[in-house]
């Protein structure tokens, strides 16, 4: 069973501390969600795990050091879906999904029939068959997320990082994408680390929440233990009521009288 | 279930390409002060290559084999290189306006070659392309780092502005050198305007090996160029060693450009015109664009050369003037349609 362990992770940009002393452990099949106010360092944390921005501290997969891996090997372990994935104009959905095989190809190689087969498999699995010839730049927000997730799945990495996968989506697409991620992590045994904006939504699917404030993890644990009016007042500066519902805690901002 | 395969050129497109190449080459050789029939041309070529009997007269034979064919082939090779270099720069910089000329690469190569000529290495068939290459590589690195750090961010406009600035600077230095060496100014001036040399097979023989190697390298990166389309950050997380791949592509494109520039002088806009017309027809995948840019870049420059030779015949216009006359309006068109530099 693959486990990602993060020990004392530290990110600095222009000599300013962005993320400080993060401890995190995720195994395949689990979903950890990072929440926190704007500017808390959520995206930076994810990007440092993806290798996009430099960081210090340990990032281990089953005990071996991720930093020693080449770009390709790292990508075989960790896939990343950006908050707003770049959708190059004129690229077909199929070609875009196929890009996910890059990690498994030598730099100057082209795809084998097996790579094409994997892309087709993921596409049908995500019900994107009717989209394969569409230009990715013409897709709606929800379709883009699904296509980007398809690309990450084609990468076949046991760990997937998702930066605010539902922020730009209306409630219908939001539910669809979250259900999809939840099904995939269970069926395919994938470890998911996501950031999320909407507190109520963040309590629905993930196993654990990490509340980040000014780069530090201030609270972590189950949705019930993290999403309390006290925590939210302290770190978001918001006055909220939290209602317990069978799906999870419901966070409602209070209107001032 | 609907299926798809990776993008590649269809056999039909290959056939069209081959026909276009043969037609333009024949046309290029046949047009001139003395018009030649296609049959005469091919029987002469066949006699030189395979020892068959030629039906051309002695003077026709000289015109074909010693004058026109090497020139037409030089135009083809240089056009193929400039167009594929432009195409590769566009892919790796994610910038539809990138072109060896506009990025300052040609000016850098020009400066390098000028310095070589003034130092008496101009006749050296090995040193000249190398000096041009050093200049080209220096220029593209300067342009890219300036464009990156510009306040405007890494928008396509910033990169092109940096390229224009670098090109102006290098051209100014080159002019300065020229004025101090007035004895060679004629040689340099003709070269700056861009010309397809008439020195028989020599020039072609010098640059073809360089260009062939560069084109083969670029072709092998055609899939990688498609990966660049998602941007550096996502490409990196997909396992592409972004810096290393970009470096290799820049070196190959710049070396090839330098080799072309060393012989023909500054010929601009080929790298924009050809890939862009192709984009409108076949889409944006570099797996298709790059091979087709090679084919039609060659075709384009052969046709441009025919124009240069015939518009004011018997006078010749510099080929660089022809490509600029065609390319500058086209550049404005692309600038207008690239949505204010929306590509990062």
pLDDT in tens, B59-117: 888 888 888 999 999 999 999 999 999 999 999 988 888 888 878 888 898 888 888 87
Name, in order, each residue with C-beta under 8 angstroms of B287's C-beta and a sequence gap of 6 or more.
Answer: A110, B6, B7, B8, B9, B222, B223, B226
For residue B130, the model assigns a pLDDT of 81
Evaluate whether B309 touches B32 at the Cβ level (below 8 Å).
yes
Residue ranges of domains in chain B, CATH in brackets: 12-26+74-336 (1.10.3470.10)
| Residue in chain A lying closest to B246 (CA) | A107
Question: What is the rounded CA–CA span in Å between residue B113 and residue A175?
Answer: 63
Predicted structure pTM score:
0.89
Name, in order, each residue with C-beta under 8 angstroms of A232's C-beta and a sequence gap of 6 or more.
Answer: A199, A238, A240, A242, A251
Backbone angles phi, psi at B9, to 5 degrees: -75, 135
In this prediction the ipTM stands at: 0.93
Tokens matching residue B30: 């046949």
The alpha carbon of residue A123 is apart from the nearest alpha carbon of chain B, in Å, by 10
The alpha carbon of residue B230 is apart from the nearest alpha carbon of chain A, in Å, by 5
CATH number of A3-253: 3.40.50.300
Summarize pLDDT for A198-236 with one digit per residue, the tens: 999 999 999 999 999 999 999 999 999 999 999 999 999
Q: Any idea where the domains of chain A sit in the sequence? A: 3-253
B216/B115: higher pLDDT: B216
Question: What is the rounded CA–CA span in Å between residue B287 and residue B7?
Answer: 6
Question: What is the rounded CA–CA span in Å between residue A83 and residue A66?
Answer: 23
Name, in order, each residue with C-beta under 8 angstroms of A195's C-beta and a sequence gap of 6 or more.
Answer: A33, A34, A35, A42, A43, A45, A46, A162, A163, A164
Helix (H, G, I), strand (E, B) or coil at A209: strand
The interface residues of chain A toward chain B in range 45-84, judged by CB-CB distance below 8 A, are: 47, 50-52, 70-76, 78-80, 82
- Verify whether the Cβ–Cβ distance A102 to B6 is below 8 Å: no
Summarize pLDDT for A94-152 with one digit per residue, the tens: 999 999 999 999 988 989 999 999 999 999 988 899 999 999 999 998 899 999 999 99
Of B1, B6, B234, the CB nearest to A82: B234
């Amino acid at each position: 069973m693959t486990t990602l362990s993060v020990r004392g992770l530290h990110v600095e940009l222009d000599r300013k501390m962005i993320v400080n002393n993060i401890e995190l452990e995720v195994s395949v099949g689990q979903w950890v969600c990072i929440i926190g106010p704007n500017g808390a360092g959520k995206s930076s944390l994810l990007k440092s795990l993806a290798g996009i921005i430099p960081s210090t501290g340990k990032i281990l997969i089953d005990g071996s050091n991720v930093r020693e891996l080449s770009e390709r090997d790292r990508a075989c372990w960790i896939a990343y879906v950006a908050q707003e994935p770049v959708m190059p104009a004129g690229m077909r959905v199929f070609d875009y999904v196929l890009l996910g095989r890059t990690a498994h190809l030598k730099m100057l190689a082209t795809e084998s029939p097996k790579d094409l087969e994997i892309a087709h498999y993921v596409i049908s699995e995500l019900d994107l068959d009717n989209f394969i010839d569409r230009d990715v730049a013409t897709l709606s927000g929800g379709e883009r997320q699904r296509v980007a997730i398809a690309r990450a799945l084609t990468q076949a990495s046991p760990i997937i990082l998702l930066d605010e996968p539902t922020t730009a989506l209306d409630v219908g697409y939001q539910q669809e994408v979250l259900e999809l991620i939840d099904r995939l992590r269970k069926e395919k045994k994938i470890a998911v680390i996501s950031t999320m904006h909407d507190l109520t939504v963040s309590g629905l699917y993930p196993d654990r929440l990490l509340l980040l404030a000014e780069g530090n993890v201030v609270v972590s644990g189950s949705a019930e233990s993290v999403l309390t009016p006290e925590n939210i007042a302290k770190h978001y500066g918001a006055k909220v009521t939290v209602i317990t519902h069978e799906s999870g805690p419901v966070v409602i901002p209070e209107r001032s009288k | 279930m609907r299926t798809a395969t990776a993008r590649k050129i269809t056999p039909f497109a290959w056939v069209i390409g081959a026909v276009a190449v043969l037609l333009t080459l024949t046309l290029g050789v046949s047009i001139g002060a003395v018009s030649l029939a296609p049959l005469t041309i091919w029987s002469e070529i066949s006699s030189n290559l395979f020892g068959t009997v030629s039906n051309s007269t002695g003077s026709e034979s000289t015109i074909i084999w010693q004058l026109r064919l090497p020139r037409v082939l030089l135009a083809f090779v240089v056009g193929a290189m400039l167009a594929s270099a432009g195409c590769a720069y566009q892919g790796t910089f994610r910038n539809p306006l990138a072109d060896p000329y506009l990025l300052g690469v040609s000016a850098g190569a020009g400066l390098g070659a000028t310095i070589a000529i003034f130092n008496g290495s101009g006749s050296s068939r090995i040193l000249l392309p190398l000096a041009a290459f050093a200049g080209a590589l220096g220029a593209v690195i300067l342009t890219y780092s300036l464009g990156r750090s510009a306040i405007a961010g890494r928008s396509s406009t910033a990169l092109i502005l940096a390229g224009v600035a670098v090109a102006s600077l290098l051209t100014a230095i080159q002019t300065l050198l020229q004025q101090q060496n007035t004895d060679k100014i004629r040689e340099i001036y003709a070269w700056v305007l861009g010309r397809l040399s008439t020195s028989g097979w020599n020039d072609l023989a010098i640059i073809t090996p360089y260009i062939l190697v560069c084109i083969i390298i670029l072709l092998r990166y055609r899939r990688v160029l498609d990966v660049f389309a998602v941007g550096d950050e996502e490409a990196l997380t997909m396992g592409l060693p972004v810096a290393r791949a970009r470096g290799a592509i820049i070196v190959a494109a710049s070396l090839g450009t330098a080799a072309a520039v060393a012989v023909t002088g500054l010929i601009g806009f080929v790298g924009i015109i050809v890939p862009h017309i192709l984009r409108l027809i076949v889409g944006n995948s570099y797996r298709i664009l790059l091979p087709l840019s090679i084919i039609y870049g060659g075709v384009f420059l052969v046709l441009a050369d025919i124009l240069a030779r015939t518009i004011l015949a018997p006078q010749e216009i510099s080929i660089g003037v022809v490509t600029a006359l065609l390319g500058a309006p086209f550049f404005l068109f692309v600038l207008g349609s690239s949505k204010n530099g929306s590509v990062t």
